[in-house]
Amino acid sequence: MAIDERNFLKTIAKSLGRTEPLAKAPKRNEAGPPSFWQEQKFEANDPFDFFKKNLEALTGRVELAASADEANRIIEDWLRELKAQSVIMWDHPELKKYIKLEMSGIKLDYWSPSRDENQLVAAAEQADVGITWADYAIGYSGTVALLCGPGKGRSVSLLPHTHIAVFLKSNLVPTMSSIMHDLTRFGTEKLPSVIDFITGPSRTSDIEMDLSIGVHGPFRVWTVIIDDQ
């Protein structure tokens, strides 16, 4: 431990009435959310409706697809609606299993680990739409949780004007608790470099409390949920 750290922690310890910094984990009575939160049953019967209601309240769109084909059709319709000319997509096996957009007229880039990073950022910056997978979606808040990694760049859900997230109905969880529980079980080494919880589009009320959508991040967050249940 560096000298500056040792002195720093010693100062804290002294302020707390200790001669040495606490080395052993302190006992805790209760950690995490209140117990009633774990026991509460949230729309256990229809997590999809729960998620749809909450994300749509934030101007998001939510569509349920019965199959991979239908998911593709929904996205193609959206691309037409947006008059999108270029798309950047996570280079991610699960996503690519369901979504295949190699079609004429659309410039399609994959956030591929083999490509040059400057080119990838430039491609994302120029893309109209970014498409990602979501490892989890939270019904209670209308949130998609993106675990970043090789092939799963942050820029894809951040630089284009529209972010489309695709996931399975079975990825839907009622609250953040399930995700936190899983992440804790991962262990620190296996954690992704970043977890992005995304709840609707970029926004601000900084100008006279007047809501503005699409400040620095996407204007639109649309989701396709594939019914695997």
Partner 1 sequence: MEHRPDLHLRDRARNGVQDTQMRQAIQKAVDRLSSNKAKAAQELGNWDAWREQGKRIRKHTIENLDYYLAQLAENVRKSGGFVHFVPTAAEARQVVLDICKKHNAKMVIKSKSMVSEEIHLNPALEHAGIEAVETDLAEYILQLAGEPPSHIIVPAIHKNRRQIAELFSKVAGHPVESDTPSLTAFARKILRKKFLTADVGITGCNFAVAQTGSVTLVTNEGNARLTTSLPKVLISIMGMERIVPTFEDLEVLLTLLPRSATGQKLTSYVSVINKTRNVDEKDGAKEFHLLILDNGRSRMLEDDEFRQALHCIRCGACFNVCPVYRQIGGHAYASVYGGPIGSVITPLLLNDLDFWGELAYASSLCAACSSSCPVKIPLHDLLLALRHRRAEAGYTPFLEKTAFNLWRRFFKLPAAYKFAMKMASIGQKPFVTNGFIKAGPPPLSNWTNSRYFPALPGETFRDRWREKQ
| For partner 1, the closer CB: 83 or 216 | 216
Please pick, from the candidates 47, 52, 136, 143, the single residue that binds partner 1 as defined by CB under 8 A. 143
Chain residues 181-210 in contact with partner 1, contact rule CB under 8 A: 181, 183-184, 188-189, 191-210
Give residue for tokens 């996931």: 167
Indicate left, alpha or beta for 17 from its phi (over 0: left) and psi (-120 to 50: alpha). Answer: left
**Segment interacting with partner 1, rule: CB under 8 A, options 75-83, 101-109, 128-136, 142-150:** 142-150
Q: Is 127 in the site for partner 1 (CB under 8 A)?
A: no
Secondary structure (3-state) at 202: coil
Tokens representing 213? Answer: 């959508």
Please pick, from the candidates 19, 29, 45, 229, the single residue that binds partner 1 as defined by CB under 8 A. 29
Strands 129-133 and 86-90: parallel
How far does Cα 184 stand from its chain's mean position?
17
**Segment interacting with partner 1, rule: CB under 8 A, options 20-28, 70-78, 95-103, 128-136:** 20-28
Secondary structure (3-state) at 144: strand
Residues 172, 225: contact at Cβ < 8 Å? yes
Chain residues 72-111 in contact with partner 1, contact rule CB under 8 A: 111
Secondary structure (3-state) at 131: strand
Q: Is 54 in the site for partner 1 (CB under 8 A)?
A: yes
How far apart are CB 170 and partner 1 at their closest, in Å? 22
| For partner 1, the closer CB: 104 or 185 | 185
Secondary structure (3-state) at 83: coil
With a CB cutoff of 8 Å and minimum separation 6, the contacts of 147 are 135, 192, 195
**Segment interacting with partner 1, rule: CB under 8 A, options 67-75, 99-107, 126-134, 147-155:** 147-155
Please pick, from the candidates 153, 160, 172, 223, the single residue that binds partner 1 as defined by CB under 8 A. 153
| For partner 1, the closer CB: 103 or 191 | 191
Tell which residue, 95, 109, 199, 188, has the closest CA to residue 155. 109
Chain residues 165-184 in contact with partner 1, contact rule CB under 8 A: 176-177, 180-181, 183-184
How far apart are CB 77 and partner 1 at their closest, in Å? 25
| For partner 1, the closer CB: 155 or 171 | 155
Q: How many other C-beta atoms can be found within 10 angstroms of the C-beta atom of residue 56?
A: 13
Q: Is 31 in the site for partner 1 (CB under 8 A)?
A: yes
Residues 148, 196: contact at Cβ < 8 Å? yes
Q: Count interface residues toward partner 1 (CB under 8 A).
A: 82
